[in-house]
Amino acid sequence: MLSDEIVSLTGSDVSYDYQELTHLCTDDELKSYIERTRQLFDPIARNFDNAHNTEWFIRSYLALKFVLGATILGNSGEYAEARNLQVAIPYLSYYTIMNTCRSFLLTLPCVDWRGKKSIEMTHSNILNTTADKLRRLGSEHQARFSQKLASAKDQREIFSYRFPSTGLSIFGDQLVSVDEAIRMGRFLVELSQINLTCLETRVTKFWPGATFGMLDLDDMWHAMQYEMSTATLIDDEDYHRVGYFVRNYRSPCSLVTMATDGLVEDFFGAWSPSSDHFDPNSFDADRRWNLLLDVW
């Protein structure tokens, strides 16, 4: 199935370049997944109000942040691989996938928003729930992801808590490579894009031309507050962006629509080296913004 056909099935008029889904899924699998996703969003869309708009903004913003974070991790993984920084590869590969799993779950209509508990899900819960929800796309996809997610987690842990003398070669051909992690992450991001596009089009169907406001909820702080055991931090950039969306977010939108040029540029710019320490061989955070999400 071509990207344009996927876009048409969601009901959207915003083009998107689906790369993984188009060759890993059959036409019937994609049609069934999109149809069921639209059906699951229908009761939400029919009763959509300011409270729903606030909840889905928080979910969408967090999902986008996880995708952008996964992009930094995936790009870092390619950089490490090219420079034989092998010790970082299991960590970077695993968290590239983990962050996109979290984005996928946040955008699903069949996964309830539970505020702080949704953000603090355990790794095992995230991986198991992701594999379970992929069942709707097909048992083959569920089985493949379940095995790969477990392998990536194990490989990250063995170099966190133990240290085999043979290095990465201990895993043989079972090693989850950086490229494989990126492709898995892109697959989940494309499903996240479909999910939010379906929400957007269903709300438009039931509320044509309507706009919604945002409520001042405690949950809004989850988008910009970071709690540690020693301190609670507020990210200034998140605070600024959330404020922007509070003023301008009037109804649900897809991930790629939410990823405005300014937001994406500022996010990756935070990881660029300072001019005082510039090295032409240093990691370039701007190298591939669209590694996982088709932001251009």
Dihedral over Cα of 183, 288, 261, 274: its sign:
positive
Look at residue 160 and tell me whether its pLDDT is greater than 90. Answer: no
Long-range pairs for 85-91: beta carbons < 8 A, 24 or more residues apart: 86/167, 86/168, 87/159, 89/168, 89/177, 89/178, 90/152, 90/155, 90/156, 90/158, 90/159, 90/168, 90/176, 91/156, 91/159, 91/160
- Percentage with pLDDT > 90 across the chain: 80
Highest mean pLDDT range out of 99-103, 237-241, 270-274? 99-103
Q: Please tell me the predicted confidence (pLDDT) of residue 80.
A: 95
pTM > 0.85: yes or no: yes
Look at residue 277 and tell me whether its pLDDT is greater than 70. Answer: no
Quick: pLDDT tens for 177-219.
999 999 999 999 999 999 999 999 999 999 999 999 999 888 8
Q: Please tell me the predicted confidence (pLDDT) of residue 222.
A: 85
Quick: pLDDT tens for 53-67.
999 999 999 999 999
Q: Please tell me the predicted confidence (pLDDT) of residue 113.
A: 95
Distance (Å, whole) CA 158 – CA 162: 5
* One-letter identity of residue 89: I
Start-to-end CA span in the chain (Å) = 21
Look at 84 and 223; give whichever has higher pLDDT. 84
Distance (Å, whole) CA 135 – CA 130: 9
Average of per-residue pLDDT values in the chain = 93
What are the DSSP E strand ranges found in the chain? 225-227, 232-234
Q: What average pLDDT does this structure show over 98-119?
A: 95
Q: Are 206 and 100 in contact (CB under 8 A)?
A: no
Here the tokens at position 132 are 């379970």
Distance (Å, whole) CA 64 – CA 28: 28
